[in-house]
Amino acid sequence: MSRLDTAQVRTVLYEGPGSLPIQPDARSRIMTALLDKGFAVTSLRGRAHVTALPRDFLLVLGRFTGNPPLLDGSVAMRFQQIDGMDAASVVEAAEKLHDGTGAVKAGTWKPWFPVIDFRRCTNCMQCLSFCLFDVYGVSAKGKIQVRNQDNCKTDCPACSRVCPEVAIMFPKYRHGPINGDQVSEDDTRREAMKVDISALLGGDVYSLLRDRSAKAKSRFSKERDDERALKERQNCLLKLQKEMDIPMEVLASLPSPDEIRAKAEQAAARGREALAAPTSAEVS
Amino acid sequence: MSTTPLHILYCHCAFARVVPADVKSGVLSRLAASSVEFEAVPDLCEMSARRDPRLAELASAESLRIAACFPRAVHGLFEAAGCCLPESARILNMRTDPAEKVAGELIAERAA
């Protein structure tokens, strides 16, 4: 099961009937502390509806003056009196509840994954063919989709660089247009990263990696110069890292050349199949 | 509790350093000091990845205001979660705009 399918603990800062108001400074400190620890906070001052998944847990925080307010019982809830508690103590209460639920600890995964701008995407499937980590899939209607977000390699924006339409975003990336900033005419004209890769590598990235690896192996076997082979590989990886802004950890963890070739061929076949039969059953 | 939908969403972008900390704290403190109800989430990207049903509820709300990052990215995140933001949704960018402007637009329009 993906970590994205697990329960969450959410909080509600309740200041409606039956609960005294919280001072603005204290309210801000409590909310900041909870958010920093990965807890969502719904600020309720009186009337509101709270939506949550049935698997989630809700911690309702308030300066309750009597019985807790009546809430929709579709979610597991706990009420916490916070009168006299500072922000750290409130967070402690939330974490205590969290520890008893078995929910995944917030912040253990940096949410880094591609987001497709479907106003630009032409469904060319190049991203599907490029990604080695099965992040992409195809919907039942033959449309590219991001399927396994948590398979994505943190801080690696490589697939966005092969998109000829500049349609792939990583919202946490430093620079535009990959971070979601507007796409300029220059970005479009350059067909940004697709051109970069071709120009940079003189072919596709997989071919380059295969060639480099083969050369390194050859040198190693002929000269038994592992130091030189390692340097060759490092040079190749550094070039990729620098020009494509791919973390070294990602490059260092790439599958073997044979696996890369096999994966690329499989992904390309999936893409072709989806484009040829857009209404076929979902491709996994 | 009534079923009045929430109309303000604040993203804390807690797991990255792309939104200036002073902007985040400035927006949050102004929201907290106001009388508005709002939804504050640690990370909108994570909500999208989880296909959190709250996104669909927010997308269906009238006069939705979101304090997060680039509008193109926010639209994409909602779409990835299976719900499209209406054209009327207003997205305020904490990566580029100061806290005063973001909070002012969130709160002022809410009060209007």
* In chain B, domain spans: 8-111
Mark yes or no for CB contact B14/A38 under 8 Å.
Answer: yes
Instruction: Give yes or no for A21 touching B (CB within 8 A).
Output: no
Contact B72 A38 (CB under 8 A): no
Comparing alpha-carbon positions, the chain A residue that sits nearest to B41 is A40
**Do the chains contact at B3 and A49, CB–CB below 8 Å?**
yes
Place of tokens 């309750």: A64
Q: Is residue A107 part of a domain?
A: no
* A261 part of a folded domain: yes
Residue A88 belongs to domain spanning:
8-99
Residue A179: inside a domain, yes or no? yes
3-state SS string for B43-89: CHHHHHHCCCHHHHHHHCCCCCEEEECCHHHHHHHHHHCCCCCCCCC
Q: Is residue A188 part of a domain?
A: yes
Residues A54 and A176 reside in one and the same domain: no
Integer Cα distance of A264 and A128 in angstroms: 9
Say yes or no: A154 contacts chain B, CB-CB below 8 A.
no
Own/partner long-range contacts of A269-278 (Cβ < 8 Å, ≥24 apart): A270/A125, A270/A128, A270/A138, A271/A125, A271/A126, A271/A128, A271/A129, A271/A138, A272/A125, A274/A125, A274/A138, A274/A142, A274/A143, A274/A144, A275/A123, A275/A125, A275/A142, A277/A142, A278/A141, A278/A142, A278/A143
* B 32-91 → A contacts, CB under 8 A: 32-33, 35-46, 48-50, 52-54, 57, 69-77, 79-80
Which residues of chain A make contact with B37, given a CB cutoff of 8 A?
42-46, 48
Strand locations in chain A, DSSP E? 9-14, 19-20, 41-44, 57-64, 76-81, 115-116, 136-138, 144-146, 168-169
Residues A198 and A248 in one domain: yes
Per-residue tens of pLDDT for chain A, all 284 residues: 566 677 788 899 999 888 999 999 999 999 999 999 999 999 988 755 566 667 788 899 999 998 777 766 567 788 999 999 999 999 999 999 888 887 776 677 899 999 999 999 999 999 998 888 999 999 999 999 999 999 999 999 999 988 999 999 999 999 999 999 999 888 876 654 454 444 444 445 556 555 655 554 554 444 445 555 456 556 666 766 777 787 877 777 777 777 777 877 888 788 888 888 755 444 44
Residue A260 lies in a domain: yes
Domain final residue, candidates A99, A132, A152: A99
The residues that bridge with A10 in the sheet, in sequence order, are A58
Please state, in angstroms and rounded to a whole number, the distance separating the CA atoms of residues B75 and A119: 10
Which residues in A lie closer than 8 A to residue B95 (C-beta atoms)?
179
Q: Is A47 on the interface with B (CB under 8 A)?
A: yes
- Examine residue A283 and state whether it is found in any structural domain, yes or no: no
Contacts of B67 in chain A (CB under 8 A): none
pTM of the model: 0.82
For residues A81 and A21, state if they share a domain: yes
- CB of A127 less than 8 A from some CB of B: no
Beta bridge partners of residue B66, listed in sequence order: B9, B91
How many whole angstroms separate alpha carbon A167 and alpha carbon A158? 13
Nearest-CA neighbor of B47 among B72, B68, B17? B68
